[in-house]
């Protein structure tokens, strides 16, 4: 397992090219699962596990890793499969999602594969574990299921979409009421959080489950001759999505004269320091880590302030 994540600098060059690398692994059976390598900090043998009283059923316990206490989540049980039995030879994948670090107990790591987002498809409606998948693909004729980790984590620690009263009392936010926004994300959990938070501002929301669908929607509106910056207050887009990621979507928006004036916010669970550099590279107007309702409203306020400057 040592060295499996040694090529981070090379992987960063893939972003913006509609490419990614996935870490493939198994859980309680032969089926291959995957997550984006950018969410992974390290893969290692399970350290000493400490049990916790009244822990969530999916949490095996906690481990101490270089002075940091991390929960260990049985990913197999969390997505409805047979639980794994932790032992001295077990493997954990340490990940960072939405500014939190946790370890996932897995059955074993397979390998890292470089892929194009176009080769990663939304799961079919007949997929047995669709509730916990954001995408599927094939590697060497084997089906690979990409897990919706945001949903797994939200079931363990439910997200809060409530905006602080002092934020909502801001008179400037009244100008958002009735305005239209486009939400682009392949995770139902993330879309629910956006809807629940933005719904408190009274905005009208359009939804697209990946960048390609969003781009087609935007171009169809533009084809009718509508002024897109008047129609849409802003676009919120995830980074990782099947068929077309948020970075490529933003690039396509900036390359279309009818769309390039749109205010685009990268709304993602990927690490902040990395995304801040990517925001500048592809031309996003703002960046926000997921599941921060007050900061989400702050970003809307920043967009509304631009209207005052232009007035």
> What are the tens digits of pLDDT across the range 254-280?
999 999 999 999 998 875 555 566 677
Choose among 163, 162, 198: nearest CA to 183: 198
Residue 8: the pLDDT is 46
Instruction: Look at 59 and 10; give whichever has higher pLDDT.
Output: 59
Q: Whole-number mean pLDDT of the chain? A: 89
14 close to 21: Cβ distance less than 8 angstroms: yes
- Predicted confidence (pLDDT) at residue 9 exceeds the cutoff of 80: no
- Predicted confidence (pLDDT) at residue 112 exceeds the cutoff of 80: yes
Per-residue pLDDT, averaged over 236-249, amounts to 91
- Predicted confidence (pLDDT) at residue 214 exceeds the cutoff of 90: yes
- pLDDT classification of 123: cutoffs 50, 70, 90: confident
* Percent of all residues in the chain with a pLDDT value above 90, rounded to a whole number: 65
Residue 274: the pLDDT is 58
> What are the tens digits of pLDDT across the range 15-74?
567 788 899 999 998 999 999 888 888 999 999 999 988 889 999 999 999 889 999 999
- Predicted confidence (pLDDT) at residue 2 exceeds the cutoff of 80: no
- Predicted confidence (pLDDT) at residue 250 exceeds the cutoff of 70: yes
Burial grade of 281 (CB within 10 A; 0-12, 13-18, 19 or more): middle
> What are the tens digits of pLDDT across the range 157-183?
888 889 999 999 999 999 999 999 999
- Predicted confidence (pLDDT) at residue 6 exceeds the cutoff of 90: no
Burial grade of 194 (CB within 10 A; 0-12, 13-18, 19 or more): buried
């Amino acid at each position: 397992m040592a060295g499996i994540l040694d090529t981070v600098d090379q992987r960063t060059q893939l972003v913006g090219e509609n490419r990614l690398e996935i870490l493939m692994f198994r859980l309680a059976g032969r089926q291959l699962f995957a997550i984006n390598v950018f969410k992974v900090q390290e893969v290692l043998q399970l350290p000493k596990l400490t049990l916790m009283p009244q822990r969530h059923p999916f949490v095996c316990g906690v481990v101490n890793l270089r002075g940091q206490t991390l929960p260990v989540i049985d990913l197999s049980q969390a997505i409805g499969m047979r639980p794994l039995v932790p032992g001295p030879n077990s493997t954990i994948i340490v990940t960072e999602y939405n500014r939190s670090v946790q370890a996932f107990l897995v059955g074993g790591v397979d390998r890292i594969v470089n892929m194009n987002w176009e080769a990663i498809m939304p799961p079919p409606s007949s997929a047995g574990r669709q509730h916990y998948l954001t995408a599927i693909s094939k590697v060497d004729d084997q089906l690979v299921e990409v897990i919706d980790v945001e949903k797994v984590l939200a079931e363990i620690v439910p997200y809060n979409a409530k905006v602080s009263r002092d934020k909502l009392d801001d008179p400037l936010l009244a100008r958002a009421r009735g305005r239209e926004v486009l939400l682009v994300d392949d995770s139902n959990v993330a879309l629910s959080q956006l809807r629940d938070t933005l719904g408190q501002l009274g905005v009208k929301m359009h939804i697209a489950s990946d960048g390609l669908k969003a781009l087609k929607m935007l171009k169809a509106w533009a084809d009718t001759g509508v002024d897109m910056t008047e129609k849409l207050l802003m676009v919120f887009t995830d980074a990782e999505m099947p068929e077309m990621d948020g970075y490529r979507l933003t690039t396509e928006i900036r390359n279309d004269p009818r769309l390039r004036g749109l205010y685009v916010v990268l709304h993602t669970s990927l690490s902040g320091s990395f995304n801040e550099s990517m925001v500048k590279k592809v031309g996003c107007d703002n960046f926000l880590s997921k599941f921060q309702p007050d900061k989400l409203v702050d970003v809307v306020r920043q967009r509304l302030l631009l209207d005052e400057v232009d007035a």
